[in-house]
Structure 1
Amino acid sequence: MAMKLSEYAKKLGVSYHTVWRLWKQGQLDAYQLPTGTVIVRDGEQNPQLVHEIACIYARVSSSENKDNLKRQADRLVQYSTARGYGIYKVVEEVGSGLNDNRQKLISVLNDKKFNVLVVEHKDRLTRFGANYIQVLLTQTGRRLEVVNDAANDKEDLMSDFAAVITSFCSRLYGLRRAKRKTEKLIAELQSNSEESCN
């Protein structure tokens, strides 16, 4: 199916500028009409010829970094295209790398329509437990590809550190309250038990 370059960018979930650059670098199967419109031959190739179908996952910790999120996704699209991967979809998410309930990531992990998950850094996927995700992907015939193994920026790490402290504090105080409730419940049960014996 052929489509305009702008439609192709929208389908991938990346900026028009990114796909324009890919076309100029000769990395897209596309042609230009005399009017100047660029047409991408998307899906016209035999799917059997594309061995690697990539799902791109980009993440930042806070909405203040949304510009960085878009740039991160654009870099991953360029990387995947340069590697010759077919791009299934681009997923962008705002949330802490410590949050183990990120809905978009869960959706990606449940999706079996790709065979390589491409992330820029391991901590873009998760701060802890990336190896567990790697094992999960391997069990389902997929794999994780990390573009850059270098550590990520300090600001994002500090944000996650603050989230860890907050989480532990709330759990600690919650556990104390839960312990008091349990002790109260046990006392009531013992009291009721003693009364029924008398």
Structure 2
Amino acid sequence: MVKEIGSGVNDNRPKFLALLADPSVGRIVIEHKDRGTRFGFRYIETLLHTYGREIEVVNQADTSTEDLLADLTSIVYSFCARLYGQRRAKRTTERLVQELEAEHAVD
């Protein structure tokens, strides 16, 4: 059994990727469809099925509205995280440039 807590928006999840890559794993069980991947679940399901494997979702969403709301929430969350990450990176870069300029001015 492999446990990994992560968002389906994040495509850099080592344990989940290892399960997908390991042909000896015949069945992958996930709690919610969006924990596997937020988008393209049917692609993964189809590819696994092609190789005689399956992915099973334990808690199916009650309605398609629930799925859509979850998708919208994850998209907004992902964009906010990227935006704040870009801002943080810009501030870090600006601080480093100021430090380098200050060091150069001293020399």
The equivalent residue for 1:134 is 45
Identify the structure with bigger relative contact order (alpha carbons < 8 Å, sequence gap 6+).
2
The equivalent residue for 2:80 is 165
Divergent runs of 4+, >6 A:
none
Contact 1:119–1:146 (CA<8 Å) still a contact in 2?
yes
TM-score scaled by length of structure 1: 0.34
Deviations 1:78-97 (A, max 9, x none): xxxxxxxxxxxx21113322
TM-score scaled by length of structure 2: 0.58
Contact 1:114–1:142 (CA<8 Å) still a contact in 2?
yes
Identity %: 44
The equivalent residue for 1:95 is 6
SS at match of 2:2: strand
Contact 1:96–1:160 (CA<8 Å) still a contact in 2?
no
The Cα shift of 1:160 comes to: 6.3
- Does residue 124 of the first structure (1) align with residue 41 of the second (2)? no
Contact 1:97–1:123 (CA<8 Å) still a contact in 2?
yes
**What is the correspondence of 1:70-89 to structure 2 with a 5 Å cutoff?**
none
The equivalent residue for 2:95 is none
| Alpha-carbon distance in 2 for matches of 1:149, 1:119 | 10
The Cα shift of 1:143 comes to: 1.2
The Cα shift of 1:114 comes to: 2.5
The equivalent residue for 1:147 is 58
Structure with more strand by fraction: 1
The Cα shift of 1:148 comes to: 2.1
The Cα shift of 1:142 comes to: 0.4
| Alpha-carbon distance in 1 for matches of 2:46, 2:74 | 27
Question: Residues 110 and 94 (structure 1 numbering): CA distance in 2 closer, same or farther, change over 3 Å?
Answer: same
Corresponding letter in the other structure for 1:163: S
Contact 1:120–1:147 (CA<8 Å) still a contact in 2?
yes
Unmatched tracts of structure 2, length 5 or more: 88-107
The Cα shift of 1:107 comes to: 0.2
Unmatched tracts of structure 1, length 5 or more: 1-89, 174-198
| Alpha-carbon distance in 2 for matches of 1:147, 1:130 | 14
